[in-house]
Structure 1
């Protein structure tokens, strides 16, 4: 299929752009936080670039990325991870001529500044990590021997931290020239083959044992004293508690007695009021009965009076009737006599 003439130029431009993109992607290098990329060559720019003798420049890239120009630039990597070194010395004579052996542990790493990375790149780029560790170990062991020769066994024995700090401070200057820094340095062991340190420690051990025994005896004594005080306080507390209980019991009994007395008085008053009310009720009943009896008697008297009056009236009527009858008889008789 033939491409039209008007599509040739745009197609070439697209192809060129794609090729440039692939080339850029292939030549763009990234760096992790635990490493540094050392870029050498031309057209390095000015950021994180150091110039050396004869106008030789080195660019350091950390925690980012950079485009490496083909032909003109080259990139290599340095690890910034820490390294552990076991440092030891053969017998070294101290200030007073006592031979001792020491073991220590150092943690080192390439410094974080651009200058440190450039210095380390100059000395260790392309070398294995073991070479870096070996050179740093030689420096540390040399200074360790030097510091041992300037101190007494007693000073080393009693203050290992100061001893380690002096070694670290002196060795750090030389390691700085190699682009390295000491993260930490610790003395693990100081010993000798003649029993000097053991003899040096015996008085201290005896003192510690003695102090421990004294402390134990004092602790036992204090425990007994505290126990006696606690028992005494306990007895006081029990006595106080018993007193409180007795007083509470007494108060309870008094309250119960007072309540019972009040209850009895109230009951007596209630009983008396009941008897009085009962008497009043009986009296009221008697009064009512008397009233009823009086009414009954009044009724009887009234009835008797009425009966008497009735009888009187009957009697009067009978008397009048007999009188009238007698008068009539007299009148009749008189009339008869007249006739």
Structure 2
């Protein structure tokens, strides 16, 4: 049966016909089931934080050191792979990392114990540079905070200036315009109400005058009707007598304005101007008869009839 592995691990086959064991890194291998055994080992890189606290130097000065170490099994080097298999085969990555960390801490402590304080300078320089950098960053932070504060103060100052120079006058002008608009509105309303009241009063006065005139005319007509009812014949006669001169004038008018009159006689009677006068008198004599036919009132008999009273 074939088994394969990736480039980050190695396989170790042991058992029948596998002495010494066969090690394969990133490949495949044939394994006889039951009589051969296959094991795997990780080839991943392990990053370890190596801490050594209060380690006394050669002169008895306690120091603490933190180091970073990366550990990796070289799968392409057969000797190193064989040594790693002897130490770590069958263990997990966590167990391998723990063993490597303890080993590195021991070596780091041994190195620190043989050193003096004067010989840890690169570390001190690095710390000093780090402190300087931190202080520089802090200074930048403070400067930036001061700049922000100055900008905020400038913004506040500009807002106050804008408030005093633009907003306040604008609000005052707006308030003034609003008051003027309200006053004009009130004035227009009062004018409209006054005009409406005037129109209403004028309409009422006109209506009253029309009503009074109508009532006066009606009363006058009623009185006339009553008078005509009480003195119908006398009134009619009075009207007729009042109009008779006008009728006579209308009849004689054409004769008086004529320049020349030609009379044709039937052979008897008077002739000349007397004939004309007789014709006019004849018309006037027949007028009462015509009036009586039209109105039913006899002019010749009206003096003999008593007037009706109410």
TM-score (norm 2): 0.49
Q: Which has the larger radius of gyration?
A: 2
Higher relative contact order (CA 8 A, sep 6+): 1
TM-score (norm 1): 0.46
